[in-house]
Chain A
């Protein structure tokens, strides 16, 4: 079922290039808010210097030192943009998510009116859902603190560095798993909102939790498959980008193109995740419904309906 969901996710993305374009444009524009000032800063600092030409070979430590030291005000101003850009992008991607889930759920192809109206319609609920997830993060932090406490109880107030190191590694690993689960809770909560029109965000979050934990191997399995694909892309990207590190025009433009293709791939995987999760949700929900019917009418499930349950459903 997980592989089928993944396949459905990719299939669902087919023909949705405009959806991908919207996501890419949003990512590009927000990153550009950070890159444009940097381009100006580098241009004024090294535009007419031999060091400017050497930037095509890579950034050396001495250049970086002088940039930070002698352009500290510009650097500070640039970094002061980082927080608003990040928060802005998070909110905007939350906004886009409503449109993307709706378009993928409807399965009728991208339509601007459908996408933007759905994005606007669900934004409030999605934002509330995200805020409801904050207590889960608080629980996570408390859990991590409890691990510290356990380590202190087990190893005393003066644990060996190895104990501290591995407990931190354990905490990082558990935090990663917890964040993954929270993101799944939120994802399936959003799917619940989109597919049922649920207006209560807390209820949607609870549904998301119920669904994720009730189908843990499938929901987590899908995300792990996508993470593997993402890692694979990174493994491909790194050697090629190193190979394209030559300081001439063709290599530089090829590298820039490769970078954007890599970003595009990551965004495609994000949309694939949405599509795959929708498929999983749909299939499992339908199975649940059938099972419920079966309980009401014992022996009533025929071969046809079993086959139907295996097929992704359209609304």
Chain B
């Protein structure tokens, strides 16, 4: 009841402040709410800001402290946890030698009373119109000394990316606290690890003091790691950004006002509801392209370098929005902004924030190289798998990146398939899911999929287990269950768990509910073990027999066991005495990995007849025997390649005859390339 009252008050407050109301009924719990005023000193790459955070204890336990993410401090020096883990390099970008970033909290103020009555707390909500007069509550208590940096993940004393703020008295569940922070932030230059500035381009992310998530009575705050992204609670954001007046600005949420300050600056007022983060970008060079995808308006802020690709930005976003809305549920926000990072600022590229994503392209990009489309489709997907669900990316990154990589491959295939949906250039045709499998094969068993992001064997293993392996095992499941069932799983998960911080177990529960109990074991293996799936046909044996009359006394005439080798069969027609030659054939399969999954076996006989068998794949091996007039010529496990997770397709089959023709053709082609290459080089 109290919560409903608070939520109602929040809505009323927004109305009272003149902010638009996006959703009549809040979509999320609105736990962490921010009113921020920030001004950009573009020459110095500096932000000066002040925020009022209104935070509701939704944590089922009284809390004596708040935890605050101060993620720009990850770039403070070379000794931070992030810098130590990343070595100063991330996403093919190097940290600028002079481009450090930081955030300093200049002052923290609590309300004058220790009583944290939620109803009274709202009265401390600043009126956004009063920002000209400092919000500083006249009798507010300076609470700055109560801030303490903490390092729960690695005890690194040089890391200041997470802090705790002791409260004057425990905050009971259902109660709220409002407090004010003044801060100064320096942006990394060039942009690094998603945020920063280069020349006139600013991409401002992870930039304000932000409350961590409290779950089940415990804080789940984490330092900024090289391998992980984020975890946050939903809320309402009212943000005023003052920038030079020739800048074009884009941000999370919707623009509710633009005020020309008359001093060469302009203040943009943005409002966002039921989001868990806020990022913005500004540049005087942006070219604006717009479009519409169903009920969502699309705005692309594109660099002059890529003006010709502006429509392609909008089109890729349209494809993504429409596919997601058609398949995985409603996108509740009215808009999406796509940001094209400046040349030299690719550290800000390929990232997602609520209703605001960054892409990345290059001048002269051939049409069949679908890098731009892939990035936009991928980043928009995060608006579902992360922004609408907000799972914990520190602990279960696959729930965002993995599911998103899978849906990215589905959309690309839908839009540009069936062959070459990712790359279709100069005769090369590669699908996105093939790229994921290729990456997965490079390190298939270093870690289970689920583990804390900074504890993987290495960064490659984090990437594989967060992105590629889940994409491949979900593709396996799709091929096993069918498109409709798979889509229902994802749609049910997306709709049921919106704004609720789901875990892997929640996802599995949905999958079991939709597809049946068998999938639970699949996910247990795929998520909580490093098991590799590998089924192989290991031998084919054909024995020629002579069958007399109508009896079944089989006499072995020729006992030649073949492991790929086989002598040509004789004519199997019955001879004059009523005897006929038959073959007793045996096909043996092995499970070479620990991952168990049912597979199909296709056995082909020399007369072209084909038999399909099912094997549950539980034992370490299985044998299939046949007595037929013709010998087995080949056997293939999973002939349709439904089990896409299989680490070796090459051993899925065995043939009795050597496949010389194909080998010769491939070798001849290789030789031809070399002949032409050598001839071209010769002088």
Contact = CB atoms under 8 A, between A and B. Distances in A.
A162 to B, nearest CB: 5
A158 B344 contact: yes
A161 B674 contact: no
B430 A61 contact: yes
Nearest to A82: B674
A95 B651 CA distance: 46
A86 interface: yes
B343 interface: yes
A17 interface: no
Nearest to A41: B667
A38 B670 contact: yes
A62 B434 contact: yes
A270 to B, nearest CB: 7
B133 to A, nearest CB: 42
Contact of A266 (B634, B674, B679): B679
A47 B672 contact: no
B683 A93 contact: yes
Contacts of A89: 678, 681-682
B653 A51 contact: yes
Contacts of B658: 43, 47-48, 52
A66 B666 contact: no
B667 A47 contact: no
Interface string B360-384: 0011100000000000000000000
B682 A35 contact: no
Contacts of B143: none
Interface in A15-74: 27-28, 30-32, 34-35, 38-39, 42-43, 45-57, 59, 61-63, 65-67, 69-70
A196 interface: no
Range, interface on chain A: 35 or more
Interface residues of B, number: 54
Interface string A183-224: 100100000000000000000000000000000000000000
A165 B683 CA distance: 29
B662 A48 contact: no
Interface stretch (A138-146, A248-256, A276-284, A294-302): A248-256
A69 B441 contact: yes
B502 interface: no
Contact of A46 (B199, B438, B650, B656): B650
Main secondary structure of the interface of A (DSSP, over half): helix
B335 interface: no
A255 B651 contact: no
Given A49-B650, A161-B362, A186-B683, A55 B434 contact: no
A94 interface: yes
Interface in B291-311: 304-306
A130 interface: yes
Contact of A45 (B362, B634, B650, B681): B650
Interface string B650-672: 11111110111111111111111
B442 interface: yes
A69 B344 CA distance: 34
B648 interface: yes
Contact of A53 (B434, B564, B662): B662
Interface string B418-459: 000000000001110010011001100000000000000000
Nearest to A93: B682
Contact of A47 (B663, B665, B677): B663
Contacts of B655: 48-50, 52-53
Nearest to A53: B659
A94 B667 CA distance: 27
7 contacts: A35-B670, A42-B666, A51-B653, A52-B659, A53-B661, A183-B683, A270-B679
Given A47-B659, A89-B678, 5 more contacts: A43-B658, A46-B650, A61-B431, A94-B683, A263-B679
Interface of B: 199, 304-306, 343-344, 362-364, 429-431, 434, 437-438, 441-442, 564, 634, 636, 639, 648-656, 658-672, 674-679, 681-683
Q: Which 3 A-B pairs have the closest CB atoms?
A: A55-B662, A52-B659, A35-B671
